[in-house]
Chains A and B, each alone.
Chain A
Amino acid sequence: MSTAVPRLPDHQLSALAGAYAEAVAAKRRQLYIGLALFILAYIIAGIVAEVRPTTFFTNLWRFTDYIGRIFTLEQGAAAGRFVLFDVVEWMWGFDKWMKLLWETLLIAYVGTLIGAIGGFAFSFLSARNLTPNSTIGFLAKRWLEFFRTVPEIVFALIFVVAFGLGPVPGVLAIALHTFGALGKQFAEVAENIDMKPVDGLTATGATWSECMRFAVVPQVLSNYASYALLRFEVNVRGAAVMGFVGAGGIGQDLVEAIRKFYYSDVSAILVLIIATVMIIDLATEWLRHRLIGLDQRS
């Protein structure tokens, strides 16, 4: 089926077509200017960061070689072959590594819980609609921002000096960073609540803390738990590298294996870490879906 489209007279058409071409050309110009600026920034950044494409391509074989080496057995009957030919030999340190992984998970858990409790308290102080007074709100926000912006591994470096080597500085570093990150996310949840219950409780003469307990907490609890679970997952990844600076967990063994060229150990530990992270990923996702489901049913 075809319908004839009425054609405008030429003088009208040419004006419209001209305007269209002009608009398109203006947009193109803008795009080209943006692109030129981007390429310029890219080149400057490349110079500052000492990018050496030739080194990269001449040394690329080392990368593929490395990946190949870490998946090759060094010792045992099947030495020189792919790791899966002798899984027992590959995973010789399985018990030790599982213990360290468990320690890593506990570091993440304890750190997340401490941080979440702090974030919980501060979210009510810093949320725009709930804060008892605007000065406290402002200070609480800046305080959270500070702990969120400083990377956790920097805290870990400082805490290792203060508390000594081991998991304690790792836990405290994760707790502080989580405190900042969750405090902000919690406050954002609290800023989006329905204020009617709060008004109702205020009308009956409830104090600030009673308002929070009975009007706000029931509304935000499931979202808070969901964010805390997400943060736990992030923290498991973070805790896995805490050992790089001596703050406990599996990272210590990994960095040793990489630095001392225990090739097959590197792949064994990496595989265990990735598997653990994936399991935690799936488990927290399942829990979060259940939490959100509960929320929608009630």
Chain B
Amino acid sequence: MTMPAAEHPLRSAARADRDGLMQRHPAIFHPSPARRIRAGLIIALLVGLFGYGLVVLDFDPARLVSGIGKLGHFLWFMLPPSTGTWAKFFVYLHALAETVAIAFLGTFTAAILALPVGFLVAKNIVPNVVIHFLSRRIVDTIRGVDELIWALIWVGVVGLGPFAGVLALLCSNFGLFSKLFSEAIEAADRKASEGIASSGGGKLHGIRFGILPQVLPIFGSQVLYFFESNTRSATIIGIVGAGGIGLHLAEQIRVLEYQHVSALILMILVTVAIIDQVSTRLRFALIGERAAP
């Protein structure tokens, strides 16, 4: 974007006709006062609530400055990332494998369980208003509870360890997938199942040969997409004792072993990046590069 030495002809033409332009397009040069006032009010509201929030939440400049100073200190101690001994590194590697296993089992088991439920929740398969409303609310409620809360509950049921993490991810993903699957089924083209009905097929035939082939690749793509985000979730549920690398991460932060912390974060980042790559490849193979979100 280098500026030409001489003024561009377009610019000089516009300059020469400045008054004419302003007269012909008054709305651009003088926006209507009503719109300005509205924009001003919205900004004032946003900023006002922001200021109020800062006061209520105890934002104290002195504390911020000292905190940022400490953070700088931590960052300095984090370099270079190191796990100390190789033994420790393998302990972390095992925890990382556990994390990926939790994400894998949680994601795919939830998807298998959500498959029939997605059909039940879809409006075009089960047209009963009452069932539709109730099942939607139940699915929404399951989805509304965070993974960490599910993890706490399951730790109480099956004890500490990765199995509780699997069950926690399974629960929150089950709600999510049921909703996503039912939406995909509702959006499916009904011509195929109409064709099957017209050639004498029953309702189940319509679902199996009319709807399932349309929605299965979409389901697969969604599940793979969430596998990556679940890997990130699985890294943190260890904080409440549900297995995986989160336990080590929380512990090392508490005991101020910053080199270990940065090494752990680095390991998580690399793993998430690898899973992201793999799942993106698989998704492209499943639904084609263009359609992938």
CB of A42 within 8 A of CB of B58, answer: no
- CB-nearest residue of chain B relative to A276? B144
Q: Kindly identify, within residues 210 to 257 of chain A, every residue whose CB is under 8 Å from any CB belonging to chain B.
A: 211, 237, 240-241, 244-245, 248, 254-255
Q: Does A49 contact B (CB under 8 A)?
A: yes
CB of B153 within 8 A of CB of A258, answer: yes
Minimum C-beta distance from B27 to chain A (A) = 12
Minimum C-beta distance from A268 to chain B (A) = 14
CB of B57 within 8 A of CB of A161, answer: no
Minimum C-beta distance from B24 to chain A (A) = 17
Known: A45-B101, A55-B158, A149-B272. A171 touches B57 (CB 8 A): yes
**What chain A residues lie within 8 Å of B148 (beta carbons)?**
153, 241, 244
CB of B11 within 8 A of CB of A205, answer: yes
Q: Does B63 contact A (CB under 8 A)?
A: yes
Minimum C-beta distance from A54 to chain B (A) = 11
Q: Does B133 contact A (CB under 8 A)?
A: no
**What chain B residues lie within 8 Å of A154 (beta carbons)?**
235-236, 249, 265
**What chain B residues lie within 8 Å of A103 (beta carbons)?**
56-57
CB of B63 within 8 A of CB of A168, answer: yes
CB of A50 within 8 A of CB of B161, answer: yes
**What chain B residues lie within 8 Å of A38 (beta carbons)?**
108
**What chain B residues lie within 8 Å of A207 (beta carbons)?**
1
CB of A149 within 8 A of CB of B269, answer: yes
Q: Does A157 contact B (CB under 8 A)?
A: yes
CB of A163 within 8 A of CB of B67, answer: yes
- CB-nearest residue of chain B relative to A208? B1
- CB-nearest residue of chain B relative to A206? B1
Could you tell me the distance between the alpha carbons of A254 and B148 in the complex, rounded to whole angstroms? Answer: 11
Could you tell me the distance between the alpha carbons of A149 and B281 in the complex, rounded to whole angstroms? Answer: 19
CB of A149 within 8 A of CB of B59, answer: no
Minimum C-beta distance from B101 to chain A (A) = 4
**For the complex, would chain A's binding face be called helix, strand, loop or mixed by DSSP majority?**
helix
CB of B256 within 8 A of CB of A153, answer: no
Chain A: how many interface residues by the 8 Å CB criterion?
63
Q: Does B120 contact A (CB under 8 A)?
A: no
Q: Kindly identify, within residues 93 to 112 of chain B, every residue whose CB is under 8 Å from any CB belonging to chain A.
A: 97-98, 100-102, 104-105, 108
Minimum C-beta distance from B234 to chain A (A) = 9
Give which listed residue, B3, B63, B158, contacts A56 with CB less than 8 A.
B158
Could you tell me the distance between the alpha carbons of A109 and B47 in the complex, rounded to whole angstroms? Answer: 11
Q: Does A136 contact B (CB under 8 A)?
A: no
Could you tell me the distance between the alpha carbons of A273 and B150 in the complex, rounded to whole angstroms? Answer: 14
A-binding segment of B84-92, B162-170, B207-215: B162-170
Known: A159-B67, A240-B146. A109 touches B53 (CB 8 A): yes
- CB-nearest residue of chain A relative to B112? A42
Q: Does B268 contact A (CB under 8 A)?
A: yes
Q: Does B14 contact A (CB under 8 A)?
A: yes
Known: A153-B236, A158-B261, A163-B64. A51 touches B163 (CB 8 A): yes
Q: Kindly identify, within residues 142 to 195 of chain B, every residue whose CB is under 8 Å from any CB belonging to chain A.
A: 144-146, 148-149, 152-154, 156-159, 161-163, 165-167
CB of A66 within 8 A of CB of B101, answer: no
Q: Does A59 contact B (CB under 8 A)?
A: yes
CB of A168 within 8 A of CB of B101, answer: no
CB of A204 within 8 A of CB of B54, answer: no
Give which listed residue, B14, B52, B101, B249, contacts A157 with CB less than 8 A.
B249
Q: Kindly identify, within residues 88 to 132 of chain A, every residue whose CB is under 8 Å from any CB belonging to chain B.
A: 103, 106-107, 109-110, 113
The 7 A-B pairs of least Cβ separation, nearest first, read A163-B67, A45-B101, A48-B101, A49-B101, A110-B53, A167-B57, A49-B162
Task: Identify the A interface with B (CB < 8 A).
Answer: 38, 41-42, 44-46, 48-52, 55-56, 59-60, 62-63, 66, 103, 106-107, 109-110, 113, 146, 149-151, 153-154, 157-159, 161-164, 166-168, 171, 202-205, 207-208, 211, 237, 240-241, 244-245, 248, 254-255, 258-259, 270, 273-274, 277-278
